[in-house]
Amino acid sequence: MIDETHNPNLTSWVADANGHGDFPIQNLPFGLFSPADEAPRPGVAIGDHIIELEALAAAGLIGEAPRDLSDVLGTPALRKTLRQQMSKLLSDPQYRAVAQAYLHRAADCTVHLPVRIGDYTDFYVGIHHAKAVGALFRPDNPLLPNYKHVPIGYHGRASSIRPSGVPVVRPHGQTKPADSDVPVYGPCKRLDLELELGLWIGGGNDLGRPIPLEEAEAHIAGLCLLNDWSARDVQAWEYQPLGPFLAKNFHSTISPWVVTAEALEPFRVAALPRPDGDPEPLPYLRGESTVYNVELEVHIQTAAMRDQGLAPHVLSRSSARDAMYWTPAQIVTHHASNGCNLTTGDLLGTGTLSGPQPEQAGSLLELSHGGKVPVELASGEMRRFLENGDEIWLIGRAVADGYVTIGFGDCMAQIRG
């Protein structure tokens, strides 16, 4: 619920938090970090700094702090209490003298995955992406018959998810050139990005017990940005008949801070109504649920751009609200509808969140029309797909009238050969 922690007039004694694009005091996301040459420990991002939770608890400045952030993800009451305590601590100047001893410059720290990710599932709820990609292969029938009835997804590989900053090694795989009768094995030539949100599951369900739609939002602990890198040439050869495999499991990048459901409360909005003529969801997916008003961007900076001192080029801009045909609650409910047990720390991807206009596409597959039309960058370079040395940044900001904008932090990786 909205409370004093969301007050737009609230400021922090951590000066760089005030007006910060991602981590003002109205955000306070949780993560796992390590100062130089020290062990990882839970912390909260505030401006350009990170403050450690266990040390604050040991000093008596907050209540007991968990050693494992899975406890925070899985316990809404604990998240709310810690958030309120941290808001008070970081806004009241009387705590500055003692609390700043536990403050670290983020630039001097290493940030890790916040929890051990047990399972990862990627969905396909971005309807404009589904239509655009479908049109490349089925111009007369872009959406398959099941799309508007069921939230489509596939089980991915949790072990290859990495935090922002870890380079992506260009994958090798089996592909079939158009001019050959047999496949070949070698480096991917059509490496792509995918602009997504990730949903952190907090508090799961018992095996065999579905999650009703009206309970689903309570199982979402928070959000992150997610780039599900894709080897499009490998994907084209292998995906039939069982769907994505090696084209998707080699690396996924996330922003490592859990922006909590509590922090995102002011940015929950009603989902856009379904177009006239679309089928009504089946009863178990029918009812009130919301989406998050998150503005999204994709930036690219090539090796040549860095050498010339050029700023990253904006590839696209879109909005999660405009893109999502199925809501986060519907994703969770459908995932558990057969009795599948979700667990705290599971990560669910939304799928690529492209906007309705071609320039709002969240992948190069769409922007380049399947590689047929190269994208011109500010440097004069052309891109159909990603090349070695390219750096991709995903940016997400939750916005709402009358509230301070909050963000997700870095979700970046460089392509290596």
313 tagged catalytic: no
Please report which residue ranges of 289-395 form alpha helices under DSSP H.
Answer: 303-308, 320-323, 328-336, 364-367
Residue 235 is assigned to a ligand binding site: yes
Q: How many CA atoms lie within 13 A of 4 on its CB side?
A: 9
210 CA to centre of own chain: 25
Q: In this structure, how many other beta carbons lie within 10 angstroms of the beta carbon of residue 203? A: 17
Residue 196 is assigned to a ligand binding site: yes
Q: In this structure, how many other beta carbons lie within 10 angstroms of the beta carbon of residue 37? A: 6
Residue 238 is assigned to a ligand binding site: no
Residue 26 is assigned to a ligand binding site: no
Q: How many CA atoms lie within 13 A of 27 on its CB side?
A: 31
Q: How many CA atoms lie within 13 A of 351 on its CB side?
A: 24
CA angle 200, 202, 206 (to 5 degrees): 120
Q: Extract the tokens encoding 351.
A: 């799928």
Residue 410 is assigned to a ligand binding site: no
| 49, β-bridge pairs | 46, 105
Torsion of CA 368, 373, 378, 381, to 10 degrees: 110
- C-alpha–C-alpha distance, residues 142 and 130, integer Å: 7
Please report the sign of the dihedral spanned by the C-alpha atoms of residue 366, residue 251, residue 297, residue 141: positive
- C-alpha–C-alpha distance, residues 22 and 45, integer Å: 9
Residue 88 is assigned to a ligand binding site: no
DSSP string, 117-152: ---EEEE--BHHHHHHHHHHH-TT--S-TTTTTS--
Residue 292 is assigned to a ligand binding site: no
Residue 262 one-letter amino acid: E
Please report the beta strands in 156-236, taking only residues with DSSP state E, as ranges in sequence order. Answer: 161-163, 168-169, 172-175, 184-187, 191-192, 195-201, 220-227, 230-231
- C-alpha–C-alpha distance, residues 305 and 316, integer Å: 18
Residue 252 is assigned to a ligand binding site: yes
- C-alpha–C-alpha distance, residues 363 and 367, integer Å: 6
Residue 102 is assigned to a ligand binding site: no
- C-alpha–C-alpha distance, residues 364 and 189, integer Å: 13
Catalytic residue among 6, 49, 128, 129: 129
Question: Binding site membership for Mg(2+): which residues?
Answer: 228, 248, 252
Active site residues: 129
Question: Binding site membership for Ca(2+): which residues?
Answer: 122, 194, 196, 228
Question: Binding site membership for substrate: which residues?
Answer: 124, 138, 235, 239, 352
Question: Binding site membership: which residues?
Answer: 122, 124, 138, 194, 196, 228, 235, 239, 248, 252, 352
